[in-house]
Structure 1
Amino acid sequence: MTALPLRARRPASLTEVVRSGLCSGCGLCASLAGPGKITMGLNMKGNSRPLVVGELDERTHRTILDVCPGATLTGPGRPAGAKTHPVWGPIREIHRVWSAESEVRHHAAAGGTLSGLGRYLIDSGEVDAILHVRASAKTPWLTEATVSRNADDVYGGAQSRYGPSAPLVHVKQLLDGGERFAVVAKPCDISAVRALARVDPRVDRQVRFLLTNFCGGVFNAQVARAMIRFHGVEESEVDTFRFRGDGWPGPHRVQAKDGRTFDLSYESAYKDRPWGYDMQFRCKICPDGVGESADISVPDAWILKDGRPVYDEAPGVNVAVVRTERGRDLLARAVEAGYLELSSISMTELEQMHGNHPARKVGAPATFTALRVLGQPAPRVTGYRPLASVLRAGWRVSWGQFAGTVRRVLKRDNREPVI
């Protein structure tokens, strides 16, 4: 009888990361490879993916696999000085928080906290730049990485971008230029930067802060196209495409160049989802949608009614989940300087606001076990406390995650074209 392959088989190449559905589309590989070696673009499924177009030397390829969140994923474990929760990870402080600038608070997708932190860091001179994403100027329904060097540019990148993006394509350029910068990106992107710090000492010196949100998964560009078609607008006619913002949660908006404007509420756009919701496979097996590796994680502080979130329009509010001492000091300075305001929140409220995260988070060990049993490549995962997760999950959640992963692999949901 053949033994089950229970040991993890890390992808042997960047191409295998992509073909196996493990790529998150962060763009760090393209940044490290340099011009003419790897390009980022949308593949046939509408996901942000790398394409190797030049020859990679063995050392660069090995480094890429050591930092790629589709091949290597290292969590924070149980850092000293923080209370570590099996779902929410290390927590030093937790607050309700919002931008003290009313215009920023309204324009952002929630309370404008990430924008407020970015604006404070630039204005105070603590960093030279903020690496983040914004709506593409050329194709508004797509998202592009950007480097902001003043507070107004940070403001221009506010609002949620739920579609594919490659926020880390400029990391090496900023490091090579000796610049001090902060990164605002998805949790998996943040873990990639933490991994890069283990092989490049410049990261700890120059990347001053890592800031993130809570992530429920990245859907592909076909969903944005379907949103546009839903309103009877042609892609070439789109002038503005907003997932959320200008209010909290703010309307999803498609505005045509001739002035026609179509809005949908948050619930209509993201709960009812008349166009479906095609999330990339890597998100379905993610062990960290809550940004454990960041200095501060900043989700929405949804309004609660009878213990459940409601999505009525209101002045925007975030939660600040402070992970590190560096994050705690940053938040205190931003509040003292008048960029942010705080109020109290309980762990129970956080759990009620974001009840979609626990099952996938604590079920992650079962998910990766399923990949191993099926002989599929899987990221080498450490630092996410699997025993605590299994005990928290229980057998029903674990079995559900295991069986769900098996079904997806058998249906080839994880298989992706390289281009």
Structure 2
Amino acid sequence: MELDRYGQMKPTGPKTWLQGRDEEFARICPFSPMARDEDELAAEYFAAAKNRDPLLGRYEAAFVGYVEEGEYRSNGSSGGMVTWVAAELLRLGLVDGVAHVKESDDPQSERRLFHYSLSRDLQELQAGAKSRYYPVELSGVLQSIREAPGRYAVVGIPCFIKAVRLACADDPVLKKRIAFTLGLFCGHMKSARMAESFAWQMGQDIRKVKRLDYRKKAQDRPANWYRAELTLENGETCAQDWWHLVDGDWGAGFFQNSACNFCDDVVAETADIAFGDAWKEPYSSDGRGTNVVIVRSKALLDVIQAGNAEKRIALSSVDSDFVVATQAAGFRQRREGLAFRLTWPHMRMRPRKRVRAGRHGLSRRRMALYIMRYWISFWSHRAFAIADFLHSPRLYILWARAALACYQGVAYSRGPIGRIAQSLGLAGSEGRT
């Protein structure tokens, strides 16, 4: 896997392999129509699960809460549960190492800020806390797992966990050594260009950025008020709220990976346990951060319940409706939005999905939103590339500001574009994207 000119990870290899004529590639690519889908994989791994839901998949139990002990919660982007569970697996001797995303030791060598790495103790593990909206790939860490006997846990977004499951089915060594998978709820993947754009807008050169915190936490601010902070090589820092950045509206789709247009898994349905942000009041206003957790493995359910009984974590049981409500926008994009996108004639790649193509009663406004998201994600990569080639960040910023104004005019009925959209029946006041 290598970064392409748009800062997205793309596979490289022989032409026959890339065109899908290689059976191994077809079996293990998570977007391949020949690979097993999430329902089939979940049926294999969680056949006896107590609950089944069309959006959440198979699971034993669901919770909302946070970590009480230590600094897990304050050091994480949300409630600290991902790092706590990984640390507990190490503490209990259930795994020898955890594969997760960490800051690159020398990001300027390949201009990559983050990469997958193996952690074997708590100190190494805590260095990988927090969310990273940056392209990474698994090949190096999977090779390390093949070479070093032991039991491992892998942390990843839904398509990564699905890829691990498919790889395990094809590789007996990986199947034996990967004992647990920890999934992260996902809206979509961003390209490396978003990090560069954030640096541009803060007046910095990405080559001089040593560290990027996508979600700088502050207890006096709601958890969903994202604030990005750059740490430069000279130790100086600069920060900006996402809402003050031209591409900081997540729902607009700036720098979205093109493959995300075909994903229908929001909550990592093939993972043993999955974590997301509790985007529902009163939790979304709590600046300390709160997790929603879906447990599919009985072994991990025992770990969670023991931690709760010992008051090391504070979790409350919730039903499927609560979990779905915390990720409502993601499910609309990945289910009704996907069904609509699959009707588009110019979509050359049509993977086998669990969603049927169709408009399913969508309003003109909803269709307009999905069309705009698609084209914003498509053109944001190209507009940035042109601005970068011309050494003119302002060119991209002007384009992004105009694109955002159009999107928010339809989505939130804002400004003159919103008034025009309302007159055409393309805008509304439902306040959801």
Report TM bin, short chain.
0.7 to 0.9
Instruction: Please list, as runs of the form range in 1=range in 2, the aligned pairs for 1:43-122 lying within 5 A after superposition.
Output: 43-52=4-13, 61-71=22-32, 72=35, 74-76=37-39, 79-122=47-90
Residue 104 (structure 1) shift: 1.7
2:93 matched to 1:125? yes
Residue 212 (structure 1) shift: 1.2
Deviations 1:8-33 (A, max 9, x none): xxxxxxxxxxxxxxxxxxxxxxxxxx
Residue 178 (structure 1) shift: 2.6
Q: Tell me if structure 1 keeps the 8 A contact 2:95–2:151.
A: yes
Residue 300 (structure 1) shift: 0.8
In the alignment, which of 318, 321, 335 is matched to residue 291 of structure 2?
Answer: 318
Q: Tell me if structure 2 keeps the 8 A contact 1:70–1:378.
A: no
Residue 138 (structure 1) shift: 2.0
Secondary structure in 2 matching 1:98: strand
2:107 matched to 1:139? yes
In the alignment, which of 177, 188, 192 is matched to residue 221 of structure 1?
Answer: 192
Task: Give distance in 1, aligned partners of 2:368 and 2:273.
Answer: 30
Q: Tell me if structure 1 keeps the 8 A contact 2:182–2:274.
A: yes
Change in 2 beyond 3 A, CA 1:266/1:80:
farther
Secondary structure in 2 matching 1:217: coil
Task: Give distance in 2, aligned partners of 1:233 and 1:412.
Answer: 25
Partner of 1:23: none
Number of aligned residue pairs: give it: 365
Q: Identify which range, 325-334 or 180-189, moves more after superposition.
A: 325-334
Q: Tell me if structure 2 keeps the 8 A contact 1:97–1:341.
A: yes
* Equivalent residue letter for 2:336: G
Residue 51 (structure 1) shift: 2.1
Task: Give distance in 2, aligned partners of 1:256 and 1:193.
Answer: 35
Q: Tell me if structure 1 keeps the 8 A contact 2:97–2:153.
A: yes
Q: Tell me if structure 2 keeps the 8 A contact 1:243–1:252.
A: yes
Identity within the alignment, %: 22
Which protein has greater RCO, CA pairs closer than 8 Å, 6+ apart?
Answer: 1
Give the structure with the larger helix fraction: 2
Deviations 1:330-359 (A, max 9, x none): 423454576533124444443332221222
Partner of 2:134: 163
Partner of 1:17: none
Residue 74 (structure 1) shift: 1.2
Task: List gaps (5 residues or longer) in structure 1.
Answer: 1-39
Residue 235 (structure 1) shift: 2.0
In the alignment, which of 243, 263, 268 is matched to residue 291 of structure 1?
Answer: 268
Task: List gaps (5 residues or longer) in structure 2.
Answer: 386-433
Q: Identify which range, 277-286 or 194-203, moves more after superposition.
A: 194-203
Task: Give distance in 2, aligned partners of 1:244 and 1:412.
Answer: 25
Change in 2 beyond 3 A, CA 1:59/1:238:
closer
Partner of 1:24: none
Secondary structure in 2 matching 1:106: helix
- After TM superposition, the score normalised by the length of structure 1 is 0.74
Secondary structure in 1 matching 2:187: coil
In the alignment, which of 301, 311, 328 is matched to residue 355 of structure 1?
Answer: 328
In the alignment, which of 261, 279, 286 is matched to residue 256 of structure 2?
Answer: 279
Q: Tell me if structure 1 keeps the 8 A contact 2:61–2:317.
A: no
Deviations 1:248-297 (A, max 9, x none): 64631012233432223354457547x97220111122111221111111
Secondary structure in 1 matching 2:305: helix
RMSD after superposition: 3.9
Task: Give distance in 2, aligned partners of 1:407 and 1:58.
Answer: 28
- After TM superposition, the score normalised by the length of structure 2 is 0.72
Q: Tell me if structure 1 keeps the 8 A contact 2:66–2:314.
A: yes
